[in-house]
Amino acid sequence: MHTFFQQTLNGLSLGSIYALLALGYTMVYGIIKLINFAHGDVYMLGAFWGYYVINTYHVNFLVALVSAMVVTALAGMLIEYLAYRPLRNSPRITALITAIGVSYFLENGMSFLFGANTRNFPQAITQHNYDVFGITVSNIQILILVTSLVLMVLLQLIIQKTKMGTAMRAVAVDPEAAALVGINPDHVISFTFGLGSALAGAGGVLIGLYYNSIDPLMGMTPGIKAFVAAVVGGIGSIPGAAIGGFLIGLLETATQAVGLSAYKDAAVYVVLIVILVLLPTGLLGKNVKEKV
């Protein structure tokens, strides 16, 4: 029982980071039906920005987090502008392949500019472990969970209550009608990339604190796992992405806990296959009928 609660806590901490990433995947997919495979690399950029400002300017965690979110939001919008916007009317597969290209560009570009070595992420917050009913809880875990939940609530408020958020939902459900009421799709798409990338950037800083090490390829595996999380939750569904993220985090920790550490990635991909076969629209995805 003891191990169970301990692993659940660990799984939720990791899962909240996957959830932050999965939200970006699902929002972008909801708007332009693109799986942005460069999304994991935006998370890497966020981690590197955090590393840079904490080491160079000795800023505190909050400043590192917020500035990383701003920087990655801008990076995401720039990527959309340069790489995806010119392909707006191209077949979807073209944009998908471009996304893979952007991903390689960011990974290798960062390796080329700053070196491919793994770095120790500076500890902006000293880790303390607390013993709660026999479970080890670190302040970093609590910080990750609280920060992720706060960001998810903020995202929900933006999407449900603001004009831009409502426009996002309008474009996602009916792009043609959205154009007819005067919504400029480019603005909404850009905003969506900014929002999703900011969450990825936050995830990057949080994972740096949690795992203590970063490198230019760190976005690859979490990026794919977050994509799986978004598919499990139902791609295009925002609550689905959050739930999927937590589920994948829990699954991964559970696989490790039962002694199958070597198979933790495989377990995630098995879930992807099972979901695609049994429940192709995911847990909360809508069964969209193609209109004639």
Partner 1 sequence: MLEVKDLRVNYGAIQAVQGVDFTVNDGEIVALIGANGAGKSTILKTISGLLRPKSGTITYEGTRLDKLSAAKIVAAGIAQVPEGRHVFAGLTVMENLKMGAYSAPKTQAAQLTAVFEQFPVLQERRHQDAATLSGGEQQMLAMGRALMAKPKLMLLDEPSMGLAPLFINKIFAIIKAINATGTTVLLIEQNATQALQIADRGYVVANGKVRLSGTGAELLANPAVQSAYLGG
The residues that touch partner 1, with contacts defined as CB under 8 A, are 163, 166-167, 169-170, 173-174, 176-184
- Quote the crossing angle between the two packed helices 220-233 and 264-278, to the nearest 10°: 30
Residue 130 pairs in a beta bridge with 137
Closest distance of CB 186 from partner 1, Å? 9
CA-based Rg of the chain, rounded to a whole angstrom?
A: 19
End-to-end alpha carbon distance in the chain: 54
Residue for token pair 């890497």: 44
Residue for token pair 């965690």: 61
Length of the chain as a residue count: 292
Which of 29/61 has CB closer to partner 1?
29
Which of 3/184 has CB closer to partner 1?
184
Closest distance of CB 101 from partner 1, Å? 28
Which of 146/186 has CB closer to partner 1?
186
Q: How many CB atoms are located within 10 Å of the residue 132 CB? A: 10
Which of 76/165 has CB closer to partner 1?
165
Which of 79/178 has CB closer to partner 1?
178
Closest distance of CB 280 from partner 1, Å? 21
Closest distance of CB 110 from partner 1, Å? 36
Do 239 and 216 meet the contact criterion of CB atoms below 8 Å apart? Answer: no
Closest distance of CB 90 from partner 1, Å? 16
Angle in degrees, CA 242, 66, 50, rounded to 5: 95
Identify the helix (H) or strand (E) that includes residue 129. Answer: strand 129-132
